[in-house]
Amino acid sequence: MSSLSPWVMPDLLSNPHCRYRMWRLSESMPFLVRNADGDELLFIHEGGGEFFCDYGHLTLKEGDYVVIPRGTMWRIEPTAPLFILMIEATEDSYQLPDKGLVGNHAIFDPAALDVPAIDECFLAQQDENPWSLQVKRHDQVSVITWPFNPLDAQGWHGDLCVVRLNWRDIRPLMSHRYHLPPSAHSTFVASRFVICTFVPRPIESDPGALRVPFYHSNDDFDEVLFYHAGDFFSRDNIERGMVTFHPAGFTHGPHPKAFAAGQAHAKTFTDEVAVMLDTRDALGVGQICEGIEDPHYVSSWQRPDGTIGK
C-alpha cells in the first residue's frame, strides 16, 4: 500500500510488543511524523531518498536499516520509489545484542552505525513556512502545527539518535563444520523480540556438516522472514519481497529441492539477504493478509503426488 503517512499502514502481523508493516512511498512527505508508541525500525527494501529528522539528514539507500528512537520527528523525500519494511518496538526501544564470546566488534563494528548529519542539505530545508507533525500515541494520530520548520537544529550532543546500518556492513559469523543457529545473526533486539539479518556467506564445507537448517517447530518464538535479495538457500519458490510466517509449534524446515541441494553440496555460497523477526509472544495476523496470503504455502513441502519428505 502507498500513503504519505506511515501511520495509516495496516499491520501485517502484530502483538502487544511489536507491529510489522509495509509502506510504499513515492512522493515527498509534506508533513513530519513522530511515533510516541515506541522505537521504529525501517528496512529499505527498494528505492532511496533523503531522510530528515531532529538530528539532521541521512541519504537512504536500498539495504539500510534505520532505527528511529521514540519521539523523533522525521520525514522522507524519496529520490526513487521506496518500499519499506517497518517494525515498531511497541512501548519499547531497540538495543544491540549481547556479542558474548565474540566481542563487541563482531557481526558489525559499532563504528559502522551511521548517524544523521547537520549538513548543507539539512540546513537548506529549514524554512519559515508552516509545518505540521502527525504524532502517533496509543495508535491515535494527533496533529501539532508550527509557523516554521521545527527541524531547525544547528547541532546536537548525546548518545541517543537515529542510527543507520546497511546489511553490507554486517560480517556474518560462520563455521565450516557447524550450522550456526539464527540467533548468531541477531542485529537488533527488543525486550520481547529479535531482528536477525541473513547475509551472503559460505555454506558449511565439512562433509559431516548440516548445510540447511534442521527441521524444527520453533517452540519459543513465532518466526517471520522477509526476503530482500538473492536466492534463499533453504526455500523453494520464494521471491524477493515475500514474507513467510511460521508460528511457534508448526514444524518446518528446508524445502525438498533446497534439502536435496544441501545433501549434494550443490552450492558453496549463499547470496541470500533476509530480515528475520522472532517474537517471544504470539503474533496476530492482520486483515490485509486475507487478500495477499498464498494459501498454498502450507503445502509447499509436498511432492506433486502429495507425499512429504526429503
Q: Which residues bind Fe ion (CB under 5 A)?
A: 218, 223
Question: Least CB distance from residue 221 to Fe ion, whole Å?
Answer: 9
Nearer to Fe ion, 122 or 193 (CB): 193
How crowded is the C-beta side of 6, counted as CA atoms within 13 Å?
26
Task: Give whichever of 125 and 218 is closer to Fe ion, judged by the CB atom.
Answer: 218
**Which stretch of DSSP H or E encloses residue 193?**
strand 193-198
- In one-letter notation, the amino acid at residue 151 is L
CB 19 within 8 A of CB 90: yes
3-class DSSP assignment, residue 260: helix
As measured in angstroms, the least distance from the Cβ of 131 to Fe ion is 44
Give the nearer residue to Fe ion in terms of CB position, either 205 or 251: 251
Query: Nearest residue to Fe ion, using CB?
Result: 223
**CB of 294 vs Fe ion, minimal distance in Å:** 17
What is the separation of C-alpha 143 from the centre of its chain, rounded to a whole number of angstroms?
A: 28
Comparison of 28 and 183: residue with beta carbon closer to Fe ion? 183
Q: CB neighbours of 90 closer than 8 A, spacing ≥ 6?
A: 16, 17, 18, 19, 37, 38
Rounded to a whole number of angstroms, the minimum distance from the CB of residue 195 to Fe ion is 15
Q: Give kind and range of the element (H or E) at residue 40.
A: strand 38-53
Shortest reach from residue 224's CB to Fe ion, in Å? 10
In the chain the first and final C-alpha atoms are separated, in Å, by 38
Q: Which residue has the cell 519494511?
A: 85
Torsional sign, CA 9, 51, 44, 20: negative
Which lies closer to Fe ion via its Cβ, residue 149 or residue 218?
Answer: 218
The residue among 13 and 76 lying less far from Fe ion, judged by its C-beta, is 13
**In the complex, minimum distance from the CB of residue 276 to Fe ion, in angstroms, rounded to a whole number:** 9
Element (H, E) at 74: strand 73-90
| CB of 296 vs Fe ion, minimal distance in Å | 19
**Nearer to Fe ion among residue 97 and residue 182 (C-beta):** 182
Tell me if residue 112 falls in helix, strand or coil: helix
CA atoms within 13 A on the CB side of 260: 7
